[in-house]
Structure 1
Amino acid sequence: MRRFYVFGFLLLMAFDTLAQLSFKLAGIHALPVAADLAWLSRVFGQPWIFGALAGYVGAFFTWMSLLKHAPIGPAFAASHLEMVSVMLLSAWLLHEPLTLARLAGAALIVAGILCLGAAEGDTPEEPSGLPS
């Protein structure tokens, strides 16, 4: 079951990262930003928008599969790992600055997820009361 969690959360992070980076790239290529139909057509005319949609659809189905088996606390926390991956990939691919505050925030996110995962592993399973 542990492999299922690791693979599932890595897949979820990949889909979420694809969606976020694709939206960023679609937005960048549709500049300048304006609150009008021309700007919306530029955004939705970008091929990156399909990556964003594919990422969100993939993330949805991966998340639904994970929720059937994973404990909700660590699962919810781990679902936010894409914040770290998007930050790192944006720094590499889009040359966004990696500040000390961003790196500290990423470290806190990862530390929180590890703490929740460790706490969940130490908790004995409670009987559900449902017949098997």
Structure 2
Amino acid sequence: MKRFYLIGFALLLGFDTLNLICFKLAGTHALPVEMNVAWLARVFSYPWIYGAVVGYLGAFVTWMSLLKHAPIGPAFAASHLEVVSVMLLSWWMFAEPVTPTQILGAVAIVAGIVCLAFAESGEDAHTDAVPARA
């Protein structure tokens, strides 16, 4: 089951990150923003918008599959790990600045996920040791 979680959350992270990075690229290539048909045609002429749609749909299907099996607390927390991956990729790909506050927030997100994962695994070990009442 741990392999399922690792693969599932890695897929979720990948799809969410793809979605957000592709939206950024699509938006950048579609500038200036205009509310007309020509602008919409320009948006859909770049492959980035289709990457964003694939990322969104992939994340949705992956998330729904994970929710069938994963405990909701750690799953919900881990589903927000894309905040960290997108921050790092935005720094690398788009030369966007990363502030100490953002780094602290990323560390807090990762620490929270780790704490919830350990708490959940500790509860599983405790419930496995206690026999169920009839």
TM-score (norm 2): 0.87
Select between 28-37 and 11-20 the one with higher mean Cα deviation: 28-37
Q: What is the RMSD of the two structures over their aligned residues, measured on CA atoms?
A: 1.7
Q: What amino acid maps onto 1:80 in structure 2?
A: H
Q: Are 2:89 and 1:89 equivalent residues in the alignment?
A: yes
State the partner residue of 2:25: 25
Supply the distance in 2 between the matched residues of 1:109 and 1:38 (Cα, whole angstroms).
41
Q: Are 2:38 and 1:38 equivalent residues in the alignment?
A: yes
Q: What amino acid maps onto 1:46 in structure 2?
A: Y
Gaps of 5+ in 1: none
Aligned counterparts, 1:33-112, within 5 A: 33-112=33-112
State the partner residue of 1:11: 11
SS of residue matched to 1:117: helix
Identity among equivalent pairs (%): 64
Structure with the bigger percentage of helix: 2
State the partner residue of 2:115: 115
Supply the distance in 1 between the matched residues of 2:36 and 2:111 (Cα, whole angstroms).
42
* Deviations 1:24-49 (CA, angstroms, capped at 9, x unpaired): 00000011123444333322222100
TM-score (norm 1): 0.88
* Deviations 1:43-90 (CA, angstroms, capped at 9, x unpaired): 222210010011111111111111111001100110011111011011
